[in-house]
Chains A and B, each alone.
Chain A
Amino acid sequence: MSDPIIRECAYVLVHVPSFVRYGSKPTREIASSPEPLLPTIEAHLRSFKEAVEYPPNQVFIGNLHPDGLNDIEQPWYEHLLKGASRYGAYGEMMPEEEFFGLLKLADDFDLIWLEKQSAPFFRQKLQGNPFWKEMDLGKIDGGVDMERIQEKVSGGGSLPLYYRGQVVGCFHRHHDQDESLMAQVLMENLMAKASGALVLKHLLKRANVAPEGVDFILSCSEEAVGDRYNRGGGSLSKAIGEMCGCVNATGCDIKAFCAAPIYAIVNAAGLVKSGVFKRVAVVGGGCLAKLGMKFKGHVTNNMPILEDVLGGIAFLVSEDDGENPIIRLDSVGKHDIGSGSSQQSIMESLILKPLDRIGKKVMEVDKYATEMHNPEVTVPSGSGNVPLNNYRMIGALAVLRKEIDRSEINQFVAEHGMPGFSPTQGHVPAAVPFLGYAVDGIKRGEMHNAMFVSKGSLFLGRMSQLSDGMSFLIEGNPKKR
């Protein structure tokens, strides 16, 4: 049986400046700062238009190839793409007012109360979105008196919801003692569900597949859906699938820190290749906790807080159609428990070993996708240019293999790498933001193959000192040659 294919990819961004205050870092800093910090944060937030016109965001939704960033002067936030569209070849960028409606639509437990005047406004905004106008949006109606909202916020464990600086509702906890069902945790989970459903909807539309045609869903989102007896119990996958009408699918979640999307795609490919399922959707919703994660660096450098968006990623893995690029299952690279955590060990495990196995050289891979973090987010806070460092490391492997000279590393980076463009949402930058461009580039004959390499920081959970990672290579469909 042939290797499975990547049939379709979708990417979305959701602009949520009013939720930056609820990111993990801003929440902690606002609480502990001796000076009022919130006004400073609010003064550095971007408008929706500015976020849409921001070049890396245009790359993410499919309107500008990553290499196109090389031709745009930095800082990119000062060189906006005027008139850029919120809709892209791979998805869209959703404004906050539509997302409020989508959040309420995702809410099956009345966790959100929207204020009376605001509820119809958000419903109307979502109704204007072509992907949701056909849905029954009656759930968004209703609305609650402001007095009741304030009562819940002041003494009921609920968090106020803001839109353009005004309270427009609140988000409830669902148990007074269960830390897993606190308002902030449930907010994080519901935002992952809603943004995951948004990107899955785009995926199915792009693939021209009815929701009923999906067999299995794997979520690679970063959240911990569960309760006090089972933190991180999971199956956000099914909640997302339910919202999209995937009534014939079941699903489960893949947890592997930032490497989860690669693990999920490899698992999906294995399930398809084995014949267990024909169509497997991999989906990752956005991560509230990571909003404003580097805001201190951005504020210090007097630049906009760029972590004001949730990212969403989705991929449809299915049986070989003789057209789309295949995932070479003999190319899967893994970081073994006994491999060691040095960068060289990790890269050898994820790149050299699989390439040796399939008889390819480092230079025979047209493009490498690594952690695609936007450097404009990470450099101001001292975290470095992550993709550039990774590409230099891969180039160094080519030098060690005597495929290129040391002096050619920069050229290797320019030709086989690309600038980072992904929001720093953990799992979202994990190599896969380039998958859509790679699939299309291979189909158009502009490239032969691409390798996807992601790493995970298992040690952050304090259960092991191990690092992690996984990789795979896609290449042109052999039946098409």
Chain B
Amino acid sequence: MFQGKKAIILGERDGVPGPAIAACLKAAGAEVIFAVTECFV
């Protein structure tokens, strides 16, 4: 479902980090435009 899609990724310190989401989406065929992990506390 992500084949050919562009992805902007916001990971979370206490959740799933940005690089992990990026790896999954790349494997699913998405093009990662931007990925970052943020801390929301």
Contact = CB atoms under 8 A, between A and B. Distances in A.
B13, B15, B36, B38: residue with the most chain A Cβ atoms closer than 10 Å: B13
Nearest to A378: B41
Interface string A376-396: 001000111010011000000
Contact of A455 (B13, B20, B37): B13
Interface string B30-41: 000000111111
A459 B37 contact: yes
Contact of A389 (B14, B17, B37): B14
Count class of interface residues, chain B: 10 to 19
B17, B37, B41: residue with the most chain A Cβ atoms closer than 10 Å: B41
B29 interface: no
Nearest to A390: B14
Interface of B is mostly: loop
Nearest to B13: A457
Interface string A445-481: 0000000000101011000010100000000000000
Contacts of A455: 13-14
B41 A371 contact: yes
A383 B41 contact: yes
Interface string A423-459: 0100001000000000000000000000000010101
Nearest to A342: B20
A39 B38 CA distance: 30
A460 B16 CA distance: 15
Contacts of B40: 378, 382-384
A258 B41 CA distance: 10
Nearest to B36: A459
A341 B14 contact: no
Contact of B19 (A258, A429, A465): A465
Contacts of B16: 342-343
B17 A465 contact: yes
A341 B17 contact: yes
A373 B20 CA distance: 25
Given A343-B14, A386-B14, A389-B14, A457 B19 contact: no
Given A342-B16, A384-B40, A457-B38, 10 more contacts: A341-B20, A378-B41, A384-B14, A386-B41, A429-B41, A455-B14, A457-B13, A457-B37, A457-B39, A467-B37
Interface of B: 13-20, 36-41
